[in-house]
A and B are shown apart, each in its own frame.
Chain A
Amino acid sequence: MAKHKTTVYLNRGDAVKAGLGNILKWILMLYFAFYTLFPLIWLIISSFKTNTELFGDPFALPAVWQIQNYVNALKVSGLIKMMGNSIFVGVVSTALNVVCASMLAYCISRFRFKGRETIFTFFAAGILVPLNALMVPYYVIISKIGLYNTRMGLILLYSAIGIPMSTFIIRGLMDSLSREIEEAAYIDGCGFFGRYFRIILPLSQNGLVTAATFQFLTCWNEFVFANLLTSSQNVRTIQLGIRYFTNQFSTDFVSMYAAIVISIVPSILGYMIFQKQIVSGLTSGAVKG
């Protein structure tokens, strides 16, 4: 790398430059914040308007805040049932995913064995495979085991496709644990399972929570496979729900907006609570990939 030496010139030109840089910095920061927030705020405000008001001035506030839109959204679309489905699918598949991934991560992190590198390579490739390309085989597999149009089918698929990512996240944490406690436990006669349940698992709690948060969020937001593998209202998840609102509320736009807001709120709330886990889940998975 080239060596650079410059001298400080504390004159007016530099001060102006620094000032301009500062202004530019704030313009950029505010622009991106505005870009993200403004459509959301517009959506929330619009969801309280009447349909007539919606076609009027886009900046006007609603004359009367229409709570009724939210009542409509919840009543018409079966939204509550779908949220229940999403929570059920998300929780069960997350549990299944984290249990499987943590057991595998334990073996990979704590033991050296033949095939360990191969598992790595395959899992890293697994993270990068465009899963959407596998729609046909997923449809065939899930139908063949008789799980088409069931919540179990989604649960199985979601737990499986999250395995490489969760394994990487959990293994990352397990690798950072010192071997000494484990060796002491081993000398004291603690076996393979004892060390997993009593030592490694409690110590890798952070990794488990990160993987679980990330997995749950992915399930909650997943659309493509839910769309592909279900066909009836009973088993649909929330994301399909908002997709089909478009048909149900063909002219009642404001109720549709209310429904979209309802579906976003849990994601935002969950993000606020688990911000650290979600961010570290996304970044640690990315860096390994």
Chain B
Amino acid sequence: MKPTKQDRLGMILFMTPALVLFVLFFILPVAYVLIVSLFKWNGMTAATFVGFKNYATIWKDSVFRRSVINNILWALVAACVQVPLSVLMALILNRKPRGWKFFRTVYFFPQVISGVALAMLWSAMYNSEYGLINGILRAVGRADLAINWLGTLNTALPALLIYWVFYIGYYMVIVMSDLAGVDRDFYEAAEIDGASKLQQAWFISLPMIKSSVLTCMTLAAVLGLRQFEQVYLLTNGGPANRTSTMVLYLYKQIQNTRYGLANAASVMLICVGVIVILGIRALFKIRHKPGD
């Protein structure tokens, strides 16, 4: 439709609020982070320009490097374990076995429960004295294994990653909504040709849902990079900064009023995010281009 004069006026009026909010809370903050990361600033006295010194400082900090590694690990586990599990369960539930709606509802629960509640729940589960996990270990007579899961150097990070990785509802539902759009005729034709259920899933379903799997992996990786609440509430980065993440690191810099360092960490986080997203896209293109 060709916009009339009234349309043009209306459009300006209608788009302004959302765009102002977007500029104020997306564009401005990103610009702010980029600029302030080049300054030394404690929030009180005047900021001094230090160039890329903040980046050098955090990069020399072993806690920050550990945080980056943890974040990448987190993103990898989410994209390479959590998402494939979700796809598997989506393929199973897509066959509409008995009670599939119930299972879909249940798997999705962790998505609607707040991160704080989940963190508190698992903090209780892992508690060394009254937690369920150690309770079970004691009940089966293996009290020797009942350790402080979140407070031990070698178990803290796996404990955090493991409870997260089996919450598959979100990605499963995304994949399922894509699977629902696959034409049933394909399966019927395959059935007539004698393809087993497994072959149907592998040769029909999977190629058709490639794009939503890519979406899920991107999302999983991005959410992995954002990890904060779980770590902050369950271990606060401990023991000995073993479980720190980039967001937790930057949060601690804010608490110490080292805003320059905090923003340098923010910029690094955004950069790692961009690299990961582009990396996953490139991976999918390389692996699937021939034959498409």
Number of residue pairs A-B, CB distance < 8 angstroms: 271
Asked whether B112 lies within 8 Å of A271 as measured between CB atoms, the reply is: yes
Residue-wise, chain A 252-283 has the 8 Å CB interface mask toward B (1 for contact) of 01001100100110011011100100111011
Asked whether A186 lies within 8 Å of B1 as measured between CB atoms, the reply is: yes
Q: Which of B254-277 contact A (CB under 8 A)?
A: 254, 259, 262-263, 265-267, 269-270, 273, 277
Asked whether B117 lies within 8 Å of A260 as measured between CB atoms, the reply is: yes
Asked whether B166 lies within 8 Å of A111 as measured between CB atoms, the reply is: no
CB distance from B59 to the nearest CB of A (A): 17
| Chain A residues whose CB sits within 8 angstroms of the CB of B265 once the complex forms | 133
- With known contacts A104-B15, A139-B254, A243–B116 Cβ distance under 8 A: yes
What is the interface residue range for chain A against chain B? Answer: 35 or more
Beta-carbon nearest neighbor of B198 in chain A: A21
CB distance from A5 to the nearest CB of B (A): 6
Among candidates A7, A157, A267, A275, residue contacting B25 with C-beta atoms closer than 8 Å: A157
CB distance from B133 to the nearest CB of A (A): 9
What is the interface residue range for chain B against chain A? Answer: 35 or more
Asked whether B18 lies within 8 Å of A104 as measured between CB atoms, the reply is: yes
Asked whether A104 lies within 8 Å of B106 as measured between CB atoms, the reply is: no
Among candidates B1, B88, B250, residue contacting A179 with C-beta atoms closer than 8 Å: B1
Q: How far, in angstroms, from A157 to B21 measured CA to CA in the complex?
A: 9
Asked whether A40 lies within 8 Å of B109 as measured between CB atoms, the reply is: yes
Residue-wise, chain A 141-176 has the 8 Å CB interface mask toward B (1 for contact) of 100000000000000010111011001000000000
Instruction: Give chain A's interface secondary structure class.
Output: helix
Q: How far, in angstroms, from A167 to B277 measured CA to CA in the complex?
A: 22
Q: How far, in angstroms, from A199 to B245 measured CA to CA in the complex?
A: 48
Q: How far, in angstroms, from A238 to B177 measured CA to CA in the complex?
A: 32
Among candidates B30, B112, B170, B207, residue contacting A129 with C-beta atoms closer than 8 Å: B30
Instruction: Give chain B's interface secondary structure class.
Output: helix
Q: How far, in angstroms, from A160 to B212 measured CA to CA in the complex?
A: 27
Asked whether B115 lies within 8 Å of A221 as measured between CB atoms, the reply is: yes
Residue-wise, chain B 129-164 has the 8 Å CB interface mask toward A (1 for contact) of 110100110010000000000000000000000000
Asked whether B136 lies within 8 Å of A132 as measured between CB atoms, the reply is: no
| Chain B residues whose CB sits within 8 angstroms of the CB of A267 once the complex forms | 112-114, 117
- With known contacts A21-B198, A132-B226, A186-B1, A223–B130 Cβ distance under 8 A: no
Check: A202 CB closer than 8 A to any chain B CB. Answer: no
| Chain B residues whose CB sits within 8 angstroms of the CB of A32 once the complex forms | 89, 103, 106-107, 166, 168
CB distance from A251 to the nearest CB of B (A): 11
CB distance from A174 to the nearest CB of B (A): 13
Q: How far, in angstroms, from A7 to B105 measured CA to CA in the complex?
A: 37
Asked whether B124 lies within 8 Å of A43 as measured between CB atoms, the reply is: yes
Shortest beta-carbon contacts, A-B, top 9: A58-B135, A192-B10, A137-B29, A221-B114, A160-B25, A103-B14, A133-B266, A104-B18, A160-B21
Interface residues of B (CB under 8 A from A): 1, 3-4, 6-7, 9-11, 14-15, 17-19, 21-22, 24-30, 32-33, 36, 88-89, 92-93, 97, 102-103, 105-117, 120-122, 124-125, 129-130, 132, 135-136, 139, 166-170, 173-174, 177-178, 193-199, 203, 207, 212, 215-216, 218-219, 222, 225-226, 228-229, 233, 247, 250-251, 254, 259, 262-263, 265-267, 269-270, 273, 277, 291
Interface residues of A (CB under 8 A from B): 1-2, 4-8, 17-18, 21, 25-26, 28-29, 32-33, 35-37, 39-40, 42-43, 46, 54-55, 57-59, 99-101, 103-104, 106-107, 110-111, 113, 119, 122-123, 126, 128-141, 157, 159-161, 163-164, 167, 179, 182-183, 186, 191-193, 196, 217, 220-224, 239, 242-243, 245-246, 253, 256-257, 260, 263-264, 267-268, 270-272, 275, 278-280, 282-283, 286-287, 289
A132-B269, A196-B14 known; 11 other A-B pairs, CB under 8 Å? A7-B194, A28-B88, A136-B36, A136-B250, A141-B24, A221-B114, A224-B229, A264-B117, A283-B174, A286-B216, A287-B174
Can you list 6 A-B contacts (CB < 8 A)?
A5-B193, A29-B103, A131-B226, A160-B21, A260-B120, A279-B173
